[in-house]
């Protein structure tokens, strides 16, 4: 039992966050989470995650991560090509329009800012490469989202004009990602021998910080999820399938580009995960009449973290880092 808990503690933590937040009838837990969300709590956590990531990285990881062009290309293909195509296929399923729009919004999102990087490192992958993918994907997404989301909406007869504040997103990437990352790297350069003593602890701390972000997001969406009734089950099945297909695609492309241990983890986690804050912003501003779209965005984020939390334990403990397809097939 102890070995199982140690191996899958992050997955267990995600489940606890989900259960405690939704089951707390007094709403005390979710109220605290909403208050933190309203007072820039997620932003502060993201800054800390990338600051600690800068402390964790070493020169070898940075060189190999930046130079691994195949891994970066594989992840970007999954993010910007495979995901929208899967979203379009899901749009052909006869389901509620709000659910379809939610799938579309998720499909066009770039990779997560924090959890993918943390999980890549926890699974033994190259965090530097994951950081490069994060920055590139979120930078490119400000130009692709308006075009691709509009094309997908045409499938359901939508005429919504999608507008994104490109400058605001670029500023956020600079101040919340690049700046704390560079500060952490600078400290690592001047105090490497001291910082290296705490690398494992910092990796664990980053995983706890991801749990904090998930808790704040769940707190915000708690009422919408509980009020969705039977639709929640359908949404869970759809988003589980959506992310599962992305994982398989990531494994296929990692195999196609012959990415082995230490290189494929960033493709798996960065290619499959989708950022939540931007999807919520788009849903609230463009589709406020479709409450189920918000439920899709939040439940997808929660479920893909649960699925990837399981993969972290599997990949970390396995000497032969097999693809997600082989892992899912085996179990």
Supply angle C-alpha 277, 280, 282, rounded to 5.
110
Taking the chain, what is the end-to-end CA distance rounded to the nearest angstrom? 19
DSSP one-letter code for 322: -
pLDDT digits (tens, 9 = 90+) for 36-57: 988 988 889 888 988 988 888 7
pLDDT for 90 beyond 90: yes
Query: 137-146, 218-227, 233-242: which range is least confident on average?
Result: 218-227
Where are the chain's structural domains? 27-330
Query: What confidence score (pLDDT) does residue 158 get?
Result: 63
Per-residue confidence band for 72, with pLDDT thresholds at 50, 70 and 90: very high
Quick one: three-class SS letters along 45-101? HHHHHHHHHHHHCCHHHHHHHHHCHHHHHHHHHHHHHHHHHHHHHHHCCCCCHHHHH
What's domain 27-330's architecture? Up-down Bundle (1.20)
pLDDT band at 331 (very low <50, low <70, confident <90, very high): very low
In this prediction, residue 159 has a pLDDT band, given cuts at 50, 70 and 90, of: low
């Amino acid at each position: 039992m102890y070995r199982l808990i140690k191996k899958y503690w992050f997955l267990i933590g995600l489940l606890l966050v989900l259960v405690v937040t939704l089951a707390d009838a007094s709403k005390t837990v979710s109220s605290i989470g909403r208050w933190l969300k309203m007072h820039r709590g997620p932003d502060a956590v993201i800054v800390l995650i990338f600051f600690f990531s800068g402390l964790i990285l070493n020169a070898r990881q940075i060189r190999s991560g930046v130079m691994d062009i195949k891994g970066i290309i594989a992840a970007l293909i999954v993010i910007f090509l495979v995901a929208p195509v899967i979203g379009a296929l899901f749009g052909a399923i006869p389901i509620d329009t709000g659910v379809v729009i939610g799938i579309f919004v998720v499909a066009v999102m770039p990779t997560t800012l924090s959890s993918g990087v943390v999980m890549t490192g926890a699974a033994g992958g190259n965090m530097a490469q994951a950081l490069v993918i994060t920055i590139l994907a979120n930078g490119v997404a400000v130009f692709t989202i308006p075009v691709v989301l509009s094309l997908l909406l045409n499938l359901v007869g939508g005429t919504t004009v999608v507008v994104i504040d490109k400058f605001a997103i670029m500023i956020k990437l600079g101040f919340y990602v690049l700046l704390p990352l560079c500060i952490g790297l600078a400290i690592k350069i001047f105090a490497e021998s001291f910082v290296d003593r705490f690398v494992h602890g910092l990796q664990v701390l980053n995983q706890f910080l991801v749990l904090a972000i998930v808790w704040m997001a769940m707190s915000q969406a708690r009422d919408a999820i509980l009020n969705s009734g039977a639709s929640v089950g359908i949404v869970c099945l759809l988003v589980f399938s959506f992310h599962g297909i992305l994982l398989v695609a990531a494994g296929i492309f990692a195999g196609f580009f012959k990415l082995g241990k230490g290189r494929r983890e960033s493709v798996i986690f960065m290619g499959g995960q989708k950022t939540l804050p931007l999807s919520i912003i788009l849903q609230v501003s463009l589709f406020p009449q479709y409450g189920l779209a918000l439920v899709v965005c939040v439940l997808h984020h929660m479920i893909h973290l649960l699925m990837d939390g399981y993969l972290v334990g599997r990949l970390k403990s396995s000497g032969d880092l097999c693809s997600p397809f082989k892992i899912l097939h085996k179990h």
